[in-house]
Structure formats: C-alpha cells, structure tokens
Structure 1
Amino acid sequence: MNITVFGGTGRTGRNFVTQAIAAGYQTTVLVRDLARAKSLLPDSKKLILIEGDVLDPDSIKKAITPETELVFSALSTDKQNVLSRSIGHILSRIEEATTADFAAISTAGILNARHEAGKYRFQSSESKRKSTEAAKDHLTVYERLKESSIGWILFCPTYILDGPAKGPVVWEFDLLPEGVRQITPESIAAFAFENICNTSFHSRRIGIGEKTEQ
C-alpha cells in the first residue's frame, strides 16, 4: 500500500509512520523541517520525505499522487487553524488525483454528547476544556468530510497522555466510551493503523480511549 501522511513527526504521527514502514508500506510524509524529520523517523527505503507546507497546494500535490492509496493525517491544532485551512486543499487533491481514502486523528470533542442530545461533547458539560478553538478546528474537518464523496474515518481520542498504556483500547461509534480518561500516542497510532482499512468504520467518528482497571 502507498500511504501519504501529514503530521508524521508529531507524537502520534511518528508512531503511525514507524508502523506503516514496518508493515512494508510505501510511506510518503510531508514535513516542514527535513533535518528534524530525518532525526525522528526511521531510515528506510520505504520512506519518502517531502519538505513543504500543508497550507501550500503545490506541496500537497507533491505528497498526494495517483499512486496514493490512503491519506492519513495526524496534524494537530494550533492557533493558526491549520486543520480547517488545509482540509480543502487535501480533499481537492484526493478527488483530482486518486481514489484514496482519508483517515485522521481528530478529537473526542467532536463526538456526540452522551447526555445532552443535539450537542457535540465540546459544547456540553462533558467537556472539561475551557477553550473550544481546537475542537472547532476539528469540527470544520468533519463537516467538510461529510460533504465529500471520499471514504473517510475520524479517530477521536480522549485526553492524550505520554507514558505507558493504562489498559486496552476500547472504542464506540460517534461517542466516547464510558469511563475512559486517557490514551497514549502509541495506543492511538496502533489502533488507527490496525483499522485504517476497516470498511465498517467508513464515514464514522470512532471514539477511543484506554480502559483502565477500576
């Protein structure tokens, strides 16, 4: 399989890239800093690094080619709204050049609130975050995907915490599984990699977290 990755040098992204290479996938990663990427990612003939900017359509065109079979994004939010500003360019290039599916790491904030009908979690009392800007950035991506004809999956983790996993990953369609509190970047990447071709997940938000012992 040929995979193009955005956000491949972040905590979750580099774990995903490492697994893709280990599985023998041809993996193309768009990076802002080539030297930094080389220091973080495996040295492999299966890895192609392209220096560029995800907000630049020409960079995206170089990263997504007719040979691309899957586009995976582990881009994180920032104060520049990079997700909402880049998703249009990414989807346009997929529709133009390939039949690839799209999968991304999103946030539990855009899952449905379990106890407040008609609200997303970030709009409800279930969310403990004071700022909603990151969730709104992810929400724009979700809304654009719903309008597209591209096959997609959004993996929506709870609070991401470095360190050893606290338990197995549990998941639920469109909701955050009850009782989960955290998940590690390694667990997110492993679950996403295992399920990127899971057709039952297509056009769904997948709430994920680690099940801890009570």
Structure 2
Amino acid sequence: MKILLLGSTGRVGQSLLKMMLKDENDVTVLVRDRTKLQVSHPNLHILQGDVLHQENINFALKHQDIVVSALNTDGAETISKSMPLIINSMKYYGVHRILTIGTAGILQSRTEPEKYRFQSNESKRKTTRAAEDHLKGYLHLKESDLNWTVICPTYLPEGEITGTYRVEKDILPADAVKISTGDTAHFTYHEIWAQKFPKCRVGIAY
C-alpha cells in the first residue's frame, strides 16, 4: 500500500513508520527537517516541506492510497490549519481514506454527553488549547465526504506494543488511565485494513 505519513518524527509517528516499513508498505513522509528522521529504507521516500503549504501537501499526496496523520498541534494550530489543505488535496487526487491521531479530549463526555470531554468535568487538563485545535481538525473531517477515523488516546506515555487495550466508538473506555505510544500506533496501523470505525472517533486506553 502507498501511504502518506504525516508527523513521522513524533512519538506515535515513529512507531507507525517502523510498522509500515516492516510490512514493506511504500511510505512517503513529509518533514520540515530531514535531519530529524534518521531512518533509511528502500520503500521510504522522504520529502522536505511543510503541512501548512498547499503545494507541499499536493506534491506529497500524489499517487498515494491513504493518509495517516500523527501530527502534533505544536502550539500553533497545526492540526486545524493543515486539515483543510489535506482534505483539498485528497479530493483533488481521489484519495478517500484518512486516519488521524487526535486526543481523548475531543471524545464525547460520559457524564455530560452533550459536551466534549475537554469541556466537561471529566477533563483534568489545565489548558484546552491542544484539544481545541484537534477539535477543529475533527470537525473539518466530519464535514467532508472522506472515509475518516480519528484515534483518540488518553494519557500517552512512551511504551512498547502489548496489543492488549480497549477501544470504544466516540467515547473513552470506562476508567481509562493511559495508553502507550506503541499501542496507539499498533491500533492505528491495524485500523488501516480493518476499517472497523469509519467516520467516527475511537477512544483507546488500557
């Protein structure tokens, strides 16, 4: 499969890249700084560019089968500003499937279902800036006609793959505490083919 991976130098992105290349997928990554990606593989194509520039997205997305985004907010509205550009390019090239890594804050609250978790008493975050950026990105996808899935991990420490975790559509599994970067990448990678959660958010936790 030909995959465009965004956010490949991030914590989840690095794990995703390893799995994709291990299975001999054809992977293109778009990075601002090539020196931050110390990976070499015959099936890896490294492009230098910025997800906030439409021409860079267009060049990277041409001939791809799917987009997988593990982009971080970077405190600069990266998610909300890049998503319309990604959607535009996907529509232009006829790419229909996209998976993104979000945050548990944009899932629905269990205690206040009319609210997102970051707006409810379930959230312990002191700032909502990252959740607000992820929410805007999610709403852009929701309004599109793409086949999208937003994977929403709770507290995300570094950790290896166990393959054992809980997932739930649109809400966080009950009594969730954490999920490792490795298992978040594991679920995301397998969802590429499973497609069990089309056009919805997925809460993931142990």
Which residue of structure 2 lines up, in the alignment, with residue 62 of structure 1? 59
Residues 73 and 103 of structure 1 are in contact (CA less than 8 Å); yes or no, is this contact kept in structure 2?
A: yes
Letter in 2 for 1:129: R
Q: Identity, % of aligned pairs?
A: 38
TM alignment of 1:126-165, pairs within 5 A: 126-164=122-160
Residues 68 and 98 of structure 1 are in contact (CA less than 8 Å); yes or no, is this contact kept in structure 2?
A: no
Which residue of structure 1 lines up, in the alignment, with residue 96 of structure 2? 100
**47, 52, 66: which one aligns with 2:44:** 47
Residues 104 and 172 of structure 2 are in contact (CA less than 8 Å); yes or no, is this contact kept in structure 1?
A: yes
Mapped to 2, the partners of 1:117 and 1:168 lie a distance apart of 27
Per-residue deviation, 1:179: 1.7
Q: Gapped runs of 5+ residues in structure 2?
A: none
Mapped to 1, the partners of 2:17 and 2:96 lie a distance apart of 17
TM-score for the superposition, normalised by structure 1: 0.93
TM-score for the superposition, normalised by structure 2: 0.96
Mapped to 1, the partners of 2:47 and 2:95 lie a distance apart of 21
Mapped to 1, the partners of 2:196 and 2:138 lie a distance apart of 18
Moved over 6 A (4+): none
Letter in 1 for 2:8: G
Mapped to 2, the partners of 1:164 and 1:27 lie a distance apart of 22
**3-state DSSP class of the match of 1:79?**
coil
Letter in 2 for 1:24: E
Letter in 2 for 1:95: K
Say how many residue pairs are matched: 206
Which residue of structure 2 lines up, in the alignment, with residue 32 of structure 1? 32
Residues 8 and 31 of structure 2 are in contact (CA less than 8 Å); yes or no, is this contact kept in structure 1?
A: yes
**3-state DSSP class of the match of 2:41?**
coil
Q: Are 2:179 and 1:183 equivalent residues in the alignment?
A: yes
Mapped to 2, the partners of 1:149 and 1:82 lie a distance apart of 22
Residues 99 and 150 of structure 2 are in contact (CA less than 8 Å); yes or no, is this contact kept in structure 1?
A: yes
- RMSD between aligned residues: 1.3
Per-residue deviation, 1:203: 0.2
Residues 159 and 182 of structure 2 are in contact (CA less than 8 Å); yes or no, is this contact kept in structure 1?
A: no
Mapped to 1, the partners of 2:122 and 2:49 lie a distance apart of 38
Residues 3 and 68 of structure 2 are in contact (CA less than 8 Å); yes or no, is this contact kept in structure 1?
A: yes
**3-state DSSP class of the match of 1:153?**
strand
Letter in 1 for 2:36: R
Letter in 2 for 1:157: P
Per-residue deviation, 1:180: 1.8
Per-residue deviation, 1:58: 1.1
Which residue of structure 2 lines up, in the alignment, with residue 200 of structure 1? 196
